[in-house]
Amino acid sequence: IRNLEESVKIPLLKQSLTAIFSQYGTIIDLVAKKNLKAKGQAFVVFDSPQAAEQAIKEVQAFPLFDK
């Protein structure tokens, strides 16, 4: 996931992303960091490729924290 609001605290960001993406399948891992290289990005790992594809299709351009 790219272009996330950088001022949002990591625990809140992870909680929000989990709430959004858990409806598409089982989340194995969710990585969001504040370091310079990964700022504004998060990675969601699903248990199946089908769940990931469905999430990509349906959540594309979804506004989160006004961004």
pLDDT of residue 56: 94
pTM: 0.88
- Residue 16 in this model has a pLDDT that exceeds 90: yes
Contacts 24+ apart (CB under 8 A), 33-36: 34/6, 34/10
Integer-rounded Cα Rg, in Å, for the chain is: 11
Segment 30-67, tens digit of pLDDT: 999 988 888 899 999 999 999 999 999 999 988 998 88
Q: What domains are defined for the chain?
A: 10-61 (3.30.70.330)
pLDDT of residue 52: 96
pLDDT of residue 43: 96
How far apart (Å, rounded) are the C-alpha atoms in residues 16 and 37?
A: 21
Average pLDDT over residues 3-26: 94
